[in-house]
Structure 1
Amino acid sequence: MAVTGEVYNTGLLKRIFQYVKPYRAVFVLSVILTVLLAAISPVRPFLIGYTLDNFILKGDYNGLVTMTMLMILMLVLQTIIQYSQTLLTNTLGQSVIRDLRINVFNHITKLRLKYFDKTPIGQLITRTVSDLETIADIFSEGLISMIGDSLQVVVIVGVMLAIDWKLTLVVLIPVPLLIIATRKFQKSIKAAFQEVRTEVANLNTFLQEHISGVSIVQYFARERQEYKKFYNINKRYRNANIRSNWYYSIFFPIVELISAMSLALLIWYGGKSIFSSSITPGVINQFIMYLAMVYTPIRQLADKFNTLQMGMVGAERVFKVLDTDEKTIDNGTIEPARLEGNIEFRNVWFAYNEENYVLKNLTFNVKAGETIALVGATGAGKSSTINILNRFYEVKKGEITVDGIGIRDFKLDYLRNNIATVLQDVFLFSDTILNNITLNNPQITIAEVVNAAKKVGAHDFIERLPGGYQYNVMERGSTLSAGQAQLISFIRALVHNPAILVLDEATSSVDTETELLIQKAIDNLMDGRTSIVIAHRLSTIQKANQIIVLDKGEIKEKGTHQQLLKLNGYYKKLYDLQFSSEGIAKSS
């Protein structure tokens, strides 16, 4: 669907106009007003020329007053139509991109995590914001305006030919030069615009990553080095804009020069014709105004044509996101009234790419209400196990079932609503504590939130915050401690009342004192639920019904804490290493 090398892409325009259908009446009215503006554009110059020949030169004051009033009425009418047309086209453009932006956002939130692994977030922000804005310009400054400008040129040239065809042909002699210049300009400026859009995406990506990770930049004193990188990216963006402006700086003076050539021909031929009385001064006056009304739209046509192309470049990028076939297939229909929470992995193999398996022949089961712990070194496959259970990624071989039903057979929303995951890196939105807990689910009451907060031991600290549950935690929960943010994530999991609970390194980022508080919260949270716990701190999983030791995606050992210690194998080595390094006496 590339637009490069094409004047415009008909298929792309058709696709954009699919979003115009709900606003068909606004579009039709905009086009009607545009045609009406083009139709009445020659009237005022004609009236001025007619007044000059028939009233001013003849000294008819009353006729002059009458014509003046008529011209004022025409000007008022033209102003009203112009206002209405501008308002409607902008309304149409903004309505279209509002719907498109909703579709893009909705599509992005349903994409697999695999897509985000390889796509910079800044690039997606560019697609959803600035690229979409260029599509709005297709309606407000591009396509409809081009139709109006083209019609105006045709109508005015037709009127000029009707008044004096010989004079018209003489003054339009330079027009072929203008057409050649316009074509050259269009080809050059389109390439420049595409470069500008590419550099905008690069700039947004860099800014998003480095503002989000500014603490790392400062911790490692990388300000100067990152400044140099940003300087170079910004320089490329500046140069791309300068190149596009350079083409304008050449094109517009050429248009003015060609326009001046037409005016010179008009003065030469028209003046000669006045001497022979074959043309009146009023006609010369009309043609002076008509020339301006011909060349101005032609000059604007080039600019608006490029606005159209810019919009199509933006549309191409936006539709590329919409066409991304990275959604999790949701063909499941099963939606039981209640899940027990029996989980089984049967010979499960998984790889993030087609070659390197990170999980190999994984087989285990968790009975409803039991707790299973996954342990192992970094990269052993613990988090990958959780990701495939939630269907963020699909297994390559084998099957995962819940209550004996394959997870692909459940409706996706139902499956994920019944699995609450508490991550090590807690994500909080820039919103109130209440909304971060409920995630704006209207079915969750404040009473349920308070009750859950009391169960996990967070109610007291929330009440001490300004505004309590209405306290705004700011971006990523920056105004809260790591422990407080973790407790809020526990409340969030509890109020959604899942059948299955996943704790992914949920206590590894807090101090020992906070860990004790969080451990009590975890005990309340896990009560009566099937739980899968990933933990580096082995002290937190000793009560698990089953501990699975993973190494390079394979199960090395399975059993309870005591059973694994007696094996004197991989788990025992991990246990001894951790507790000796922490200086804590082992308890058997």
Structure 2
Amino acid sequence: MSNRRMVASGAPKPINQGVTLKRLLSYLGRNKSLLFVVICLSALSTLGGLYTAYAISPVITIIEQGLKGIISRSEVTVLLARQLSFLAIIYALEILMSYLAARLMTKLSQRTVYSIRQEMFEHTSRIYVKYHDQTSHGDLMSRFTNDVDLIQEGLSTAAASMVVNAMTLVGTLGYMIYLSGTLSVVTLIVVPILSLISRTIVRYSRRYARQQQIALGALNGYIEESVEGQSVMQLFNHEVDSFEEMKRLSGDYRNKMKLAQITSSMMFPLMQNINNINYALVGIVGGYLSIFKGLGIGPLGAYVNMTRQLGRPINMLANHYTILQSSLAASERVFELLDWAKESVSEEDIEATDVVGDVIFKNVVFGYDSEHIVLNDVSFWAKSGQKIAFVGSTGAGKTTITNLISRFYDIQKGEITLDGMSIYDIDRYSLRKNISM
């Protein structure tokens, strides 16, 4: 028998969150120019937002100097008009940059999802038959529809927002350290607390999000099979059992979804309340520094505004975290499909031409897995023109034999020949063209 025969189950390896995220981002990288433009626009929008938060400092300083008589009222009017006009321009540019970044990110996410869906369809048509035997049609359809839609939502909404808010968070912290190192220490005390909470919630939320998607796939699969087999179900009076199974699957999905939603929704209120505590602490310490340590009203006002600005990206990151976790869970299911092995193709395979039809099984051993052997040392010769019937109970291996002849599965031991030539030396698609089923 040809030594190029390979037994391949096609089973995928487990995927972790880091690998999943990196792989998902690689699809975005296929449109590098568009991705670069989106990042640049997001960075410009972030800088504009940071400046508008800081701009309150010179405005307060101008008003303070006017009240103290350091500058005249006319000078106050001119300086304020100049500052506010410049601020209005920055606001307008920030809005424009944000709009363009969001629009282009939507376009980028649509291109990415299109590539993923096309790759899934092409891969499914070449995948080992074992996958289709183990996976219901409804579950497969759920991966093409529900899971891909969640990926699209995660890329266009959560991913773009999280990039912008991460930039805003880093920039805001930098500005705050520049304005007051002492107040920055108060603010940074909160960061480890936020990190600990987020890491804990991440661990549980991701697990429940994946369980939710698996339960949804099982539910869709059962619904699809029940609808297709409705007449058979009624013929055998299986309505009650079918209803109970549907009730069980629906209840399982409800419970998994409830756990996923409760866990992920905890992030936003916890982050917001911790940020409010931080805001109050900054106000107390900042007031003390302003009264006794000479911290200016302008820098203090800007810092307090920055503290509120710091809370916004943290809250937005927490708010979009749920979508991102669902998207990563959906991505794992999609990549699980894409990681199943395709049917092997070799340039050394030959075309099956002028087929006579002599099929020989020689000491064939086959099992769908190593622990459950279906055919054990089976040998026979089916001559061209003969009519042969395989008779046996369910599970005896009748359909298995026809599947092996068509190379839907590879045997563990033995040899199968067609007209004296090993079927593993024949191009599998050429082989199947000569078989009628």
TM-score (norm 1): 0.61
Letter in 2 for 1:31: I
Q: Is the 8 A contact 2:147 2:334 kept in 1?
A: yes
Q: Is the 8 A contact 1:115 1:326 kept in 2?
A: no
Distance 1:19 1:171 in 2: 37
Distance 1:385 1:3 in 2: 34
What does 1:211-250 align with in structure 2 at a 5 Å threshold? Answer: 211-250=227-266
Distance 1:384 1:245 in 2: 44
Distance 1:313 1:182, change over 3 A: same
Q: Is the 8 A contact 2:53 2:306 kept in 1?
A: yes
- Work out which of the residue numbers 274, 282, 295 in structure 1 matches 2:311: 295
Offset of 1:199 from its aligned partner?
1.5
Runs of 4+ in 1 over 6 A off after TM superposition: none
Give per-residue Cα distances to partners, 1:320-360, cap 9 Å, x unaligned.
32222362555554337xx4341111244464546232893
Offset of 1:308 from its aligned partner?
4.4
Structure with bigger RCO (C-alpha 8 Å, 6+ apart):
2
Give per-residue Cα distances to partners, 1:290-330, cap 9 Å, x unaligned.
12221222233345456544444333333332222362555
Q: Is the 8 A contact 2:151 2:331 kept in 1?
A: yes
Distance 1:192 1:386, change over 3 A: closer
Distance 1:56 1:373, change over 3 A: farther
Give per-residue Cα distances to partners, 1:268-292, cap 9 Å, x unaligned.
3344455569345444442343122
Do residues 37 (structure 1) and 45 (structure 2) align? Answer: yes
Q: Is the 8 A contact 1:3 1:312 kept in 2?
A: no
- Corresponding position of 1:564: none
TM-score (norm 2): 0.80
Distance 1:308 1:114, change over 3 A: same
Distance 1:245 1:388, change over 3 A: closer
Q: Is the 8 A contact 1:131 1:314 kept in 2?
A: yes
- Corresponding position of 1:397: 414
Q: Is the 8 A contact 1:347 1:361 kept in 2?
A: yes
Gaps of 5+ in 1: 422-501, 503-588
Distance 2:397 2:53 in 1: 78
- Secondary structure of 2:383's aligned partner: strand
Distance 1:141 1:375, change over 3 A: same
Offset of 1:189 from its aligned partner?
1.6
Letter in 1 for 2:415: G
What does 1:516-535 align with in structure 2 at a 5 Å threshold? Answer: none
Give per-residue Cα distances to partners, 1:25-63, cap 9 Å, x unaligned.
122222223333333321112223422431598353344
Give per-residue Cα distances to partners, 1:99-139, cap 9 Å, x unaligned.
22222222222223333222323332233333334444554
Q: Is the 8 A contact 1:167 1:270 kept in 2?
A: yes
Distance 1:117 1:352, change over 3 A: farther
Distance 1:266 1:18, change over 3 A: closer
- Corresponding position of 2:403: 387
- Corresponding position of 2:374: 356
Identity value in percent: 21
Answer 1 or 2: which has greater helix percent: 2
- Corresponding position of 1:345: 359
Distance 1:169 1:398, change over 3 A: closer
Letter in 1 for 2:38: S
Give per-residue Cα distances to partners, 1:519-539, cap 9 Å, x unaligned.
xxxxxxxxxxxxxxxxxxxxx
Gaps of 5+ in 2: 1-12, 67-72
Q: Is the 8 A contact 2:102 2:160 kept in 1?
A: no
Q: Larger C-alpha radius of gyration, 1 or 2?
A: 1
What does 1:113-124 align with in structure 2 at a 5 Å threshold? Answer: 113-124=129-140
Name the count of aligned residue pairs: 410
